[in-house]
């Protein structure tokens, strides 16, 4: 869900063409870091990202649960808290569901 890509961009702070670390959450850019001067540009994607995430949970519930099952800590801690406050609640629900399933089985 979280990915970092190196891109050669024009920095608006140091005004150089420099390597930038572009951080993605899903298909949205959340942060761009200028490797040259260290300037961090954060993009508030919560409005755009959460509906997209909700849509993906609705259409692909198994895929979402799988991400958390494989590496729940990494999935959560790599996200800014603000972006992830709602999905965190969902994670708890996922856990509850899995716990109850285990108890039944």
How many binding residues for Zn ion (CB under 5 A)? 7
37 binding Zn ion? (CB under 5 A): yes
CA distance 43 to 33: 11
23-38 burial, b at 16+ Cβ within 10 Å, e below that, comes to bebeeeebbbbbeeee
Interaction of residue 34 with Zn ion, rule CB under 5 A = yes
Cβ–Cβ under 8 Å, residues 46 and 84: no
In whole angstroms, the minimum distance from the beta carbon of 2 to Zn ion comes to 23
Q: Which of 2, 4, 13, 74 binds Zn ion (CB under 5 A)?
A: 13
Interaction between residue 39 and Zn ion (CB under 5 A): yes
CB of 69 to Zn ion, least distance (A): 39
36 is a contact residue toward Zn ion (CB under 5 A): yes
First to last CA, the chain: 30
Interface residues with Zn ion (CB under 5 A) are 11, 13-14, 34, 36-37, 39
């Amino acid at each position: 869900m979280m990915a970092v890509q190196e891109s050669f961009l024009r920095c608006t702070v140091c005004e150089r063409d420099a390597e930038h670390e572009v951080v993605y959450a899903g298909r949205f850019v959340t942060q761009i870091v200028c490797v040259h001067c260290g300037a961090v540009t954060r993009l508030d994607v919560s409005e755009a990202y959460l509906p997209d995430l909700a849509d993906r949970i609705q259409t692909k519930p198994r895929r979402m649960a799988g991400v958390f099952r494989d590496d729940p800590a990494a999935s959560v801690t790599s996200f800014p808290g603000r972006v992830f406050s709602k999905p965190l609640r969902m994670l708890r629900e996922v856990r509850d569901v899995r716990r109850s399933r285990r108890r039944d089985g």
